[in-house]
Amino acid sequence: MAVKIRLQRRGHKRYAFYPIVIADSRAPRDGRFIERIGSYNPNTNPATISLDFDRALYWLETGAQPTDTVRTILSREGVLLMKHLRGGVKKGAFGEEEVQRRFDAWKAQHDKTVEAGKAQDAAKKAEDAKARLESEVEKNKAKAEAVAKKKAELLAAQEAAAKAELEAENAEAAEETP
């Protein structure tokens, strides 16, 4: 029986999340499966991955073939690295302590990289918000100046009209009185 580690689509239209399952390769995508070992939610930023590390490693060592997306997920979580390191133990290249040391070093480096990426995204988001705020302030300032200019023009026009009216009344009064 050919066993695959693959994603199973769940959720609703335009908001899918994917359980990571062990299934017979002949079974339908969303059909029967042997075991559920985790989930993948691409709707969050960054994508949320929950995975039963030990069961994924067991199935990989048993011979289950991951699909491309699942292979990427397993690689990101370190399951493929652990499988590789355990292969070195079986061949006698190094011991179990060395495997754990190398894996812990990789995990620490990986976590640091992920945190740096999150910090960079947060900094970029803050910078974009600051730029939007500055442009909004500029627009509001320009709009306020335009409104003030228009009010000044209206006020000047009203004063000119009032002055012309006053002069017309004065001219009429001067004509009436001899």
Instruction: Please identify which residue in the block is written with the tokens 């991951």.
Output: 66
Give residue-wise pLDDT tens across range 112-160.
998 998 899 999 999 999 999 999 999 999 999 999 999 999 999 999 9
Give residue-wise pLDDT tens across range 15-65.
999 999 999 989 888 888 999 999 999 998 888 999 999 999 999 999 999
Is 177 a residue whose pLDDT tops 70? no
CB contact at 8 A, 95 and 33: no
Domains (range + CATH), the chain: 3-94 (3.30.1320.10)
Q: How would DSSP label each residue in 74-87? A: HHHHTHHHHHHHHH
Q: Which pLDDT belongs to residue 28?
A: 84
How far apart are the C-alpha atoms of 65 and 27, rounded to whole Å?
14
Give residue-wise pLDDT tens across range 57-102.
999 999 999 999 999 999 999 999 999 999 999 998 888 999 999 9
Round to the nearest angstrom and report the end-to-end CA distance of the chain: 123
C-beta neighbour count of 141 within 10 angstroms: 10
How far apart are the C-alpha atoms of 58 and 98, rounded to whole Å?
20
What is the token pair recorded at 66? 């991951």
How far apart are the C-alpha atoms of 84 and 81, rounded to whole Å?
5
